[in-house]
A = this chain, B = another copy of it.
């Protein structure tokens, strides 16, 4: 992969550039190039995900009630099928009843979606969101 820095010019209306500069400053960007590269990478990640083939990286965020027995049974079943897709899990005790867990998953897109579906459908899981990201290798 060619990491050589290149430079290209963008022509843009003054008023549009002014608004963009204000927005990226409020978000904490130190320069325009970085902000533009982020927009480009975001587009590429989204385009990769519209393509259903291939492998990918993502995170699954879930909040659940740990008193629910079914939860651990389902996770055991999931790990039986998909243990090589679940890289790591972070567990946070939100209060006496509620836990938040984030799973980092990597593998074929169909497997990753299946893991998210299975977890989301488990009794005791109150909320489940799936984020698609990138392996970072081409970005």
Contact = CB atoms under 8 A, between A and B. Distances in A.
Taking chain A's interface residues, is the majority helix, strand, or loop, or is none over half, making it mixed? Answer: mixed
Interface residues of A, number: 85
B88 A92 contact: yes
Given A2-B14, A44-B20, A104-B90, A63 B133 contact: yes
Contact of A88 (B15, B23, B90, B134): B90
Interface in A22-73: 23-24, 26-30, 32-45, 47, 52, 57-59, 61-65
**For the complex of A and B, 6 pairs with smallest distance between CB atoms:** A98-B136, A90-B90, A2-B14, A39-B39, A28-B121, A27-B117
Interface of A: 1-20, 23-24, 26-30, 32-45, 47, 52, 57-59, 61-65, 87-90, 92, 94-95, 97-100, 102, 104, 106, 117-118, 120-123, 125-129, 131-139
